[in-house]
Structure 1
Amino acid sequence: MAKLVILMLQDGNFDRGFQALLQIRGDNPPTETQIQIPGTLPPAPEIPALLDRWRSSFRSLNMARIEAISTQIVRPDPQVAGELADRLNEWLNSGDKKWRQIRDLLLQNSHEQLRILLETEDIHLRRLPWQAWDLFSTGNYKQTDLAFSPRSYQQPQPSFSQSQAVRVLAVFGYAKHLKLELDRQVLEDLGDRQADIEILQQPSAEELRHLLRQKSWHVFFFAGHSQSDANGEIGKFKLNEREWMEIVDLKNSLDWAINKNGLQLAIFNSCDGLGLANQLAQLHLPQSIVMREPVPDEVATQFLQEFLRAFANRESFYVSVRYARGALEDTFHHQYPGVSWLPVICQNPAGIPPHWEGWLNPQRSTVNSPVNVDGFPPLTVTREQSDAAIDRAAIARSPLTPKQLIEIGFSLSVISTVSLLASYVWGTSDPWIQTFGDRGWTIEMARGMLLIVGIIYLIGTKFSREAAEVFAFRSPSNDPYEILNLFRWFVRVFSFAIAILLLDHHLWTGPEELKSLVESTGSDWLNYRLPYLLYLPYSTINFALTVWLFAGGSYAAIEDLLDLRSQSLNLKNKLELINEENVKDDRACQYILDAFKIYCYDVIYLAKRYTSLFSGLATAILFETIASRSVFGQDTLSESAKAWFWVGAIVVAIVLLIIFWGFSHYETVFQQTSHCLSKFEVNYQQFEKENNSFNVLRRISRSNLSMYLGVLMFLISIGLMFWLPV
């Protein structure tokens, strides 16, 4: 059964991730949504910079079909395209639980005949080369292509009367420095394929409007100069030497052409066309093809030639675009790295992908003929309905925004500073100063700022959802062994017990300990109890942040390890089944490779997720190592506080050990997979070379600054312990 897959990405950014919703519907004929799964695409803050570097290569070409070209020529760097594709795959194959369920469902449907649409208004997401996702090298995804979809759409009412020829209105605009005669020759050659081409050479706006209204067209084609605004919302094309046209200038004529005359497809074989596609989608055009970036002249011509060669020879619309991409990659990938990513499809979900044979004889075209939808309500989706679908999907909380993180950090910093000044300066006493020093508050402030910044960053960007779920008064939705629920109760009881001890220390034990160290003739309340009471807000903030981090990090570690264990057992069981039944089918081999690739991505994500935690732990240890030595000349921690600090460090270290224990399990699965692949006609030695533990560690550490910083600070701490006097 044919399926239509719609992936919605809304409400987010690369710093805090995107809320996601996956819908799967029947396709041809269209049906209502069969499956709907919410999720969250995790943060990937480095992707926009990589995307900009790749885009700059095409925006600096001097032979592109765009008029406003920079005079500075940048030589395309092949490594940039490779880095962008690698990082994109790591992101989209992320092991994050809230995204993995979407990715796995996409893979489970790879044997179906399907189309996949991406619905988003984020311009960076629309500019990303989604075709580089290795999902499109799996199963039937090899025979399709990703298309962008508008958030609001309706089914057009085209005329499907039989035609003796495929009618194409071809407009050739202002062509300074361009070789548009090659595009014209490609179109004219379609005469052998029952095509009727009408060509307009630099027409006036009125002439173009007249032809759009006067006749029925299957295809509107434009070649020449075009460009879009910075947000990819509005586009324009140069009709002749004097006139630039926006889609809004043709709104009524195009609306008539689409809904009265049956216009099905627009092809803008010109530069920077995302704005054009966006405006055409608002007019409910069934589909369009544009170039996402400035396109070299020879690339534009070859894409048109290869696409029409396949499409006019009865290939499907999506297969034809995919075929043309492959031709561009084969011809130009050394000269223009990432060139096959330039063509973009924009698809109306209510429209039916065009077919050359279907245009010529709709009654004989069963696959692509219009569907009788009399028994269904009109296929119309508004922006409000799209928003409501996402709201109803119970999408998990997204991480805190940078603004919220700054506000929380600033508030806690102010409270901590006031508390320290009150206990060390305004409400201090001689016993307090003699014990902790008159400069102790500066050291304490540095410690407090370190904890506030580090822990809020980790909670806000890495463990926001887990920290919230630990203290939520509802059971986890996926907890077959009740481990997560037991841990949540343990954290609550543990936190309550520590809070009691904290209050006892500041209200009774601490003052008594201070009194035993330094005798004073003044008031016990002013000399011993008041400083500890004023110090309590600072301690409470540090305690709350530490418990929050411990709870979120530990909960995430348990959850991730349970998921990884489940994946490992599932993969091992399938490998054992293949071995027992002695299956040697090529599809089984490809299945093993795909399944292991997913497992490998999950392991890499798991390890990378906790490197920031390791870096934070190393920073705290380094600070305490320096603070406890003669660098400051004064110890500011009581023995109880020191004990609590090292208890916290040990707990976090245990979390990290658990995670790396989970990573060690990778070697077992890797060996079993390699053994299973040795029975197939596949280069399993290459598989072993690419996926051995050493190369996986290299992939984890690649561009992972937090890991290097953590190791460096940990080594410095060890050195200071030996070299600095106590």
Structure 2
Amino acid sequence: MTNFKLKVQQFGQICVFELSWGTGQQLSATLNYPESLTTFYQEWQRVYLSYYKSGLRGWIEDSGSLTSPPIDWHTKLVQAEAKFLSEFHHWLRSAELFEIRAAIAKHQNLEFIQPSRIKGDKHYQPINVFLTCSSIELERLPWEAWEIGAEFSKVGTIRIARTPLNIHHSTNSKPQHRSRKARILAILGDDTGLNFKGDKEAVRSLSRIADIEFVGWQPGQNIAELKASISAAIADECGWDILFFAGHSNEMAMTGGELAIAPNISMSIREITPQLLLAKQRGLQFALFNSCSGLNIAASLIDLGLSQVAIMREPIHNDVAQEFLLRFLQGLADYRDVHDCLLLACQHLKLEKNLTYPSTYLIPSLFCHPKAVLFQIKPFGFKEQLKQI
């Protein structure tokens, strides 16, 4: 399997794309960044927030506008998305990037598993592109929607994952095989204006293949005790495979992102960094934040050495978050890796739910440590132990 690393840096109105792969191969391209792309993104974001104005898993400032006549926000959002993506794709189809696109697409026809190893026809392995952006403004763009191989003879799948600019800690590059159920810690945060019933049911659907523990705020609970219980749960000596969070969250670069754990009470990633490092040492590989504006959160956790982190880059509606989670966890239950799970969930939002939840398929992203193996739940039991002998 070929892994590409693509770094995109912005210097004023100039963007530099640097692609590297294999045994030292690399390409570089320079092109102008169109201001119109920022304008179309901001307009799309404005309409998106207006359509999903209630039930969001994040904090959105009220514009304070006066009552106005009814607006068809659905139609406006569909139009804003079309204009935004058209400008984004036009930029990425620039002639300056042709050599980079061609180098990636070329491997679609080279990476396959011989038919004897699986049932049926040839199975082409996905090409992984690990994308690093130099600014959060670039990170906000929906790079996962880039159809890199569209102009070439397409056979395989190109998967775009994200990698933060800075990573200080190593990861568990060869996770230990555990002859037990996977362990999941589910943290339920502040539910003001939200309903976690769907999240709980979706997570509990994995009880056949995973041991699950819930922790979170209860009415009347002392905040100091709540923070202590969450911290202790993360650092549990038995270790976790998956960390899940549902609730309100927000970007906060100085503290690594914020999680609302109770009404008007937040906990930053920096506050629980020691516990997260312990959890990583004890087996934690993957985290899923089913909450809003998670770019800082994902970057912080990959920086600590977690293998993969799935987040929502923008505010996400409560119903959409639960729809996404259900499909994502169905993939995990089928023993798929987390990248495939995310792509399947996004595909479901795009093809089956786009009339109800327009634009939401553009929101999820997977951040990866470049040296980590993609996490997937492994079958367990006596038969599986025999296979390891």
Q: TM-score, normalised on structure 2?
A: 0.83
Q: After superposition, where does 1:80-95 map in structure 2 within 5 Å?
A: 80-95=80-95
* Contact 1:232 1:275 (8 Å CA) reproduced: no
1:181/1:249 Cα in 2 relative to 1: closer, same or farther (>3 Å)? same
Counterpart Cα distance in 1 of 2:380 and 2:234: 18
* Contact 2:311 2:364 (8 Å CA) reproduced: yes
Matched, 1:128 2:126: no
Instruction: Determine the structure 2 residue equivalent to 1:319.
Output: 340
Counterpart Cα distance in 1 of 2:278 and 2:374: 20
Matched, 1:24 2:37: no
1:69/1:179 Cα in 2 relative to 1: closer, same or farther (>3 Å)? farther
* Contact 1:63 1:296 (8 Å CA) reproduced: yes
1:209/1:163 Cα in 2 relative to 1: closer, same or farther (>3 Å)? farther
Secondary structure, aligned partner of 1:6: strand
* Contact 1:287 1:348 (8 Å CA) reproduced: yes
* Contact 1:166 1:218 (8 Å CA) reproduced: yes
**Once the two structures are superposed, what CA deviation does each residue of 1:236-293 show, in whole Å capped at 9, x if it has no partner?**
01112252011000010001111x2111111000111111112112212111001011
Counterpart Cα distance in 2 of 1:211 and 1:186: 21
Instruction: Determine the structure 2 residue equivalent to 1:165.
Output: 181
Secondary structure, aligned partner of 1:135: coil
Instruction: Determine the structure 1 residue equivalent to 2:119.
Output: none
Counterpart Cα distance in 1 of 2:385 and 2:46: 44
- Candidates 366, 377, 382, aligned match of 1:356: 377
Output the amino acid matched with 1:130: W
Structure 1 residues 285-294 or 355-364, which shifts more?
A: 355-364
* Contact 1:59 1:69 (8 Å CA) reproduced: no
1:320/1:159 Cα in 2 relative to 1: closer, same or farther (>3 Å)? closer
How many residues of Structure 1 are paired with residues of Structure 2 in the alignment? Answer: 349
Counterpart Cα distance in 2 of 1:359 and 1:123: 40
**Once the two structures are superposed, what CA deviation does each residue of 1:578-625 show, in whole Å capped at 9, x if it has no partner?**
xxxxxxxxxxxxxxxxxxxxxxxxxxxxxxxxxxxxxxxxxxxxxxxx
Instruction: Determine the structure 1 residue equivalent to 2:7.
Output: 8
Note the C-alpha offset of 1:177.
Answer: 1.4
**Once the two structures are superposed, what CA deviation does each residue of 1:487-545 show, in whole Å capped at 9, x if it has no partner?**
xxxxxxxxxxxxxxxxxxxxxxxxxxxxxxxxxxxxxxxxxxxxxxxxxxxxxxxxxxx
Note the C-alpha offset of 1:189.
Answer: 1.2
Instruction: Determine the structure 2 residue equivalent to 1:676.
Output: none
Bigger radius of gyration among the two? 1
1:115/1:328 Cα in 2 relative to 1: closer, same or farther (>3 Å)? same
Q: After superposition, where does 1:242-281 map in structure 2 within 5 Å?
A: 242-258=264-280, 260-281=281-302
* Contact 1:155 1:351 (8 Å CA) reproduced: no
Note the C-alpha offset of 1:216.
Answer: 0.7
- Candidates 309, 312, 323, aligned match of 1:288: 309
Matched, 1:205 2:197: no
Matched, 1:146 2:145: no
Note the C-alpha offset of 1:141.
Answer: 5.4
Counterpart Cα distance in 1 of 2:362 and 2:207: 29
Give 1 or 2: higher helix fraction: 1
Note the C-alpha offset of 1:356.
Answer: 1.5
Note the C-alpha offset of 1:43.
Answer: 2.7
Note the C-alpha offset of 1:334.
Answer: 2.8
Secondary structure, aligned partner of 1:357: coil
**Once the two structures are superposed, what CA deviation does each residue of 1:520-579 show, in whole Å capped at 9, x if it has no partner?**
xxxxxxxxxxxxxxxxxxxxxxxxxxxxxxxxxxxxxxxxxxxxxxxxxxxxxxxxxxxx
- Candidates 33, 40, 58, aligned match of 1:66: 58
Secondary structure, aligned partner of 1:46: helix
**Once the two structures are superposed, what CA deviation does each residue of 1:349-388 show, in whole Å capped at 9, x if it has no partner?**
01111121278869958xxxxxxxxxxxxxxxxxxxxxxx
Counterpart Cα distance in 2 of 1:275 and 1:359: 34
Q: After superposition, where does 1:90-489 map in structure 2 within 5 Å?
A: 90-96=90-96, 99-111=97-109, 112=111, 113=125, 114-135=127-148, 139=154, 142=157, 144-153=158-167, 154-157=169-172, 160-192=176-208, 194-202=209-217, 204-214=226-236, 215-229=238-252, 234-258=256-280, 260-357=281-378
* Contact 1:160 1:362 (8 Å CA) reproduced: no
Counterpart Cα distance in 1 of 2:36 and 2:308: 32
Output the amino acid matched with 1:342: I
* Contact 1:233 1:276 (8 Å CA) reproduced: no
Output the amino acid matched with 1:346: F
Output the amino acid matched with 2:130: L
1:84/1:53 Cα in 2 relative to 1: closer, same or farther (>3 Å)? same
Gaps of 5+ in 1: 26-32, 366-726
Note the C-alpha offset of 1:222.
Answer: 0.4
Note the C-alpha offset of 1:337.
Answer: 3.0
Instruction: Determine the structure 2 residue equivalent to 1:654.
Output: none
* Contact 2:256 2:270 (8 Å CA) reproduced: no
Counterpart Cα distance in 2 of 1:285 and 1:329: 29
1:68/1:86 Cα in 2 relative to 1: closer, same or farther (>3 Å)? closer
Instruction: Determine the structure 2 residue equivalent to 1:52.
Output: 42
* Contact 2:5 2:129 (8 Å CA) reproduced: yes
Secondary structure, aligned partner of 2:206: helix
Counterpart Cα distance in 2 of 1:70 and 1:301: 24
Counterpart Cα distance in 1 of 2:183 and 2:292: 24
* Contact 2:255 2:270 (8 Å CA) reproduced: no
Note the C-alpha offset of 1:232.
Answer: 9.7
**Once the two structures are superposed, what CA deviation does each residue of 1:300-329 show, in whole Å capped at 9, x if it has no partner?**
001110011112202232222111001111
Counterpart Cα distance in 2 of 1:53 and 1:316: 35
* Contact 1:62 1:70 (8 Å CA) reproduced: no
Give 1 or 2: higher strand fraction: 2
Note the C-alpha offset of 1:45.
Answer: 1.9
Secondary structure, aligned partner of 2:235: helix
Output the amino acid matched with 1:344: S
**Once the two structures are superposed, what CA deviation does each residue of 1:662-715 show, in whole Å capped at 9, x if it has no partner?**
xxxxxxxxxxxxxxxxxxxxxxxxxxxxxxxxxxxxxxxxxxxxxxxxxxxxxx
* Contact 2:144 2:365 (8 Å CA) reproduced: no
Counterpart Cα distance in 2 of 1:362 and 1:226: 40
Sequence identity of aligned pairs in percent? 24
Note the C-alpha offset of 1:220.
Answer: 0.3
User: RMSD of the alignment, in Å?
Assistant: 2.5
Instruction: Determine the structure 2 residue equivalent to 1:42.
Output: 32
Counterpart Cα distance in 2 of 1:8 and 1:329: 27
Q: After superposition, where does 1:599-678 map in structure 2 within 5 Å?
A: none
1:11/1:82 Cα in 2 relative to 1: closer, same or farther (>3 Å)? closer
Gaps of 5+ in 2: 112-124, 219-225
